[in-house]
Amino acid sequence: MDNKLIVLISPAHFNLSQIIIDEIVRCGYKCRWFDDRPSKKKIDKMLLRLSPALESGKINRYFKKIVDFCKENQPVKLIVIIGQCFSIKHYQQIREASPNTELVFYNWDAISNFPITKDNFAFFDRAYTFDSGDVKNFNLNFLPLFYSYSNSKEKEDLDYSLVVTVKKGKYADLHNIVSQLDKIYSRKFCLMYLQSKFVYRYYKLFDKSFKGAKKNDFSYSFLPAQEVESIFNRSKIVVDIVMGKQTGLTLRTIETLHLKKKLITNNEHIKEYPFYCEDNILICKNGDKIDFDSPFFKKPFNDNYALSEKYSLHSFVKTLLGDK
């Protein structure tokens, strides 16, 4: 066994997997990454969401490659992030092929968004989630997401910015907040990302909040991570929205507060965190009217509530590795 080899299975979600791989290597390990989906084709992604059974043959063939790699290389740990199309029967194959490998699971989405994952937790040696509600409901370990941006400073030439992936249930809160901010601020950057125009048409049919939305309101290609960081660095306020029953804090939330930028969010569970401060964070949800006379708009960022190293990428990865 190579006691410095980590196998990471995770979504090819923008640049996040590469960021985590780089930190694993900085911690002294080698890392082999596998996508947690067998195909990047849009039709396959859609089928995996709507009817995974139709993709079962492709999933099984793909996972066999992971099993064969683990059998040959005997990694010290297998870390799975979401693993959106794999089940206990797949992880059992890993256990049989590499019995001394520690299996570690992490969920950076709410289980309500990926219910397929809930049956897998008990099979892992350690299992974590970013969602405090799921910690209580599924007896998981709590591990918030992380910041990875540098502390570089840029001129604040944007009053506010918004860079989000729009999912069902998000658009109503987004539209409510943006329409109010636009009455006060003119310097802004807004990018609302949809995976495809097919997804836009789907939401137009099945999400009532999309009734007044137009196709050109959305972007169908996402910005590189470096550009997003620059936009947030230039912003006085960053807007971020969670969907549905999610209680966990998004990566965007952690990154924003790390940069000491003010945050507007619809996630009221942020009040449960030690860094919550009404000078820095404004909660606006379910059609709330924004109070522009609140401390959030009147006071500077309160440095007494800046994020600690506990929320860093390094701390996050060390926890998954079991080195903390």
pLDDT tens digits, 128-154: 999 988 998 888 999 999 999 877 788
Q: How much is the pLDDT for 159?
A: 97
Higher pLDDT, 115 or 299: 299
Confidence bin at 100 (pLDDT 50/70/90): very high
Confidence bin at 79 (pLDDT 50/70/90): very high
Residue 139 has which token pair? 């007896």
Mean pLDDT of 300-308: 95
Q: Which long-range contacts (CB under 8 A, 24 or more apart) does 11-15 make?
A: 11/35, 11/36, 11/37, 11/81, 11/82, 11/84, 12/37, 12/40, 14/222, 14/225, 15/224, 15/225
Q: How much is the pLDDT for 173?
A: 85
Confidence bin at 311 (pLDDT 50/70/90): very high
pTM: 0.89
pLDDT over 80 (residue 157): yes
Query: 131 near 111, Cβ under 8 Å?
Result: yes
- Side-chain-side CA neighbours of 12 within 13 Å: the count stands at 9
Of 116-120, 280-284, 317-321, the poorest mean pLDDT is in 116-120
Q: How much is the pLDDT for 151?
A: 74
Rounded to whole angstroms, what are the CA distances from 320 to 15, 51, 104, 323? Answer: 19, 31, 7, 8
Q: How much is the pLDDT for 145?
A: 96
For 216, residues 6+ apart whose C-beta sits below 8 A from its C-beta are none
Rounded to whole angstroms, what are the CA distances from 43 to 40, 53, 153? Answer: 9, 14, 41
Q: What is the DSSP string of 195-241?
A: S-HHHHHHHHHH-GGGTT--GGGSBSSPPPHHHHHHHHHTEEEEEE-
For 8, residues 6+ apart whose C-beta sits below 8 A from its C-beta are 17, 20, 21, 24, 31, 32, 33, 34, 79, 81
> For the chain, what percent of residues have pLDDT higher than 90?
60
Q: How much is the pLDDT for 152?
A: 76
* Alpha-carbon torsion, ordered 317, 318, 320, 322, to 10 deg: 170
Mean pLDDT of 151-180: 88
Q: How much is the pLDDT for 77?
A: 97
Confidence bin at 319 (pLDDT 50/70/90): very high
pLDDT tens digits, 5-51: 999 999 887 688 999 999 999 999 999 999 988 766 665 565 566 55
pLDDT over 90 (residue 177): yes
Q: What is the DSSP string of 295-317?
A: HHHHS---GGGPPPGGGBHHHHH
Angle at 296 between CA 183 and CA 237, to 5 degrees: 60
